[in-house]
């Protein structure tokens, strides 16, 4: 029997992470389900197993280098290789203007979103270089391509786009493809769940979406699956907007 391909998904207990984990499990991948919340990672894992998929739960804080190093030691022992990785873990930044922003919010947003992506990519690339290739997808944001209401969050997501492009250039000749997805307003995760605290703001945002609706977590999962597939074999360094046309306005 052929060995199943494997993928690491961080933030896999959140709505986007869980949907993506289920999508890859359904495509025959063995899924390393990682989240800072161990019990939630276990829930996603059990959901995959109940549907007939293969998954394993891991707890790690992506913003802590020692925690990420320990995660990858376990992955190397349990999996031996990673065919793909979706660096999805992140946190929101609210809508606080820059002059009112708390320094602790800045520090933690950069730590989790940008530094966490960096720590994971560093380990993933080392593993993929040793095995001869692989695919990495990072979760940025529509506000990683444009300005957003939170300078802290926007800066961290712009950083992910830059990190993606730089690494894609460095490893394009090493059979490692690196891309990013940039979701707009999504009906889960850090999208409508968080922004629903400001319904007038959300109504205004949805009203400006050319397709007339927020995106779904499955829209994001589909994009990640495509970028990790052989159908995207000539795509690297790309930041894919999943925004219902907002970036074209």
> What is the arithmetic mean of pLDDT over 207-230?
92
Share of the chain above pLDDT 70, in %: 92
> What is the arithmetic mean of pLDDT over 84-110?
91
Range with the poorest average pLDDT among 10-14, 20-24, 170-174, 213-217: 213-217
Specify whether the CB–CB gap between 239 and 142 falls below 8 A: no
Of the candidates 76, 156, 149, the residue with the CA atom closest to the CA atom of residue 108: 156
CA distance 245 to 114: 25
Better-scored residue on pLDDT, 75 or 200: 75
Report the pLDDT value the prediction gives residue 1, as an integer from 0 to 100: 39
Mean pLDDT of the chain: 92
Assigned fold of 6-189+217-240: Rossmann fold (3.40.50)
- Residues tagged active-site: 153
Of the candidates 1, 14, 206, 197, the residue with the CA atom closest to the CA atom of residue 91: 14
* 77: pLDDT strictly greater than 90: yes
pTM: 0.94
Report the pLDDT value the prediction gives residue 201, as an integer from 0 to 100: 61
- Is residue 187 very low, low, confident or very high in pLDDT (cuts 50, 70, 90)? confident
Report the pLDDT value the prediction gives residue 93, as an integer from 0 to 100: 86
- Is residue 149 very low, low, confident or very high in pLDDT (cuts 50, 70, 90)? confident
Specify whether the CB–CB gap between 84 and 23 falls below 8 A: no
Better-scored residue on pLDDT, 211 or 199: 211
CA distance 106 to 18: 27
* 51: pLDDT strictly greater than 60: yes
* 247: pLDDT strictly greater than 90: no
> What is the arithmetic mean of pLDDT over 104-123?
97
CA distance 147 to 82: 34
> What is the arithmetic mean of pLDDT over 199-213?
73
């Amino acid at each position: 029997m052929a060995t199943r391909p494997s993928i690491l998904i961080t933030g896999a207990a959140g709505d986007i992470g869980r949907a993506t984990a289920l999508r890859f499990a359904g495509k025959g991948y063995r899924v390393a389900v990682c989240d800072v919340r161990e019990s939630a990672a276990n829930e996603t894992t059990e959901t995959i197993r109940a549907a007939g998929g293969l998954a394993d739960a891991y707890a790690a804080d992506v913003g802590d280098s020692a925690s990420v190093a320990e995660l990858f030691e376990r992955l190397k022992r349990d999996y031996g290789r990673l065919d793909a990785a979706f660096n999805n873990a992140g946190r929101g930044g609210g809508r606080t203007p820059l002059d009112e922003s708390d320094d602790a919010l800045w520090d933690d947003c950069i730590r989790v979103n940008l530094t966490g992506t960096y720590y994971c990519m560093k380990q993933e690339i080392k593993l993929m270089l040793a095995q001869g290739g692989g695919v990495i997808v990072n979760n940025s944001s529509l506000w990683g391509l444009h300005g957003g209401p939170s300078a802290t969050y926007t800066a961290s997501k712009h950083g992910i786009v830059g990190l993606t492009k730089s690494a894609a250039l460095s490893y394009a000749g090493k059979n490692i493809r690196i891309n990013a997805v940039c979701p707009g307003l999504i009906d889960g995760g850090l999208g409508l769940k968080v922004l629903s605290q400001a319904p007038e703001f959300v109504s205004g945002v949805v009203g400006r979406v050319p397709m007339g609706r927020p995106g779904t977590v499955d829209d994001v999962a589909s994009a990640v699956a495509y970028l990790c597939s052989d159908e995207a074999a000539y795509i690297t360094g790309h930041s894919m907007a999943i925004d219902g046309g907002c970036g074209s306005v």
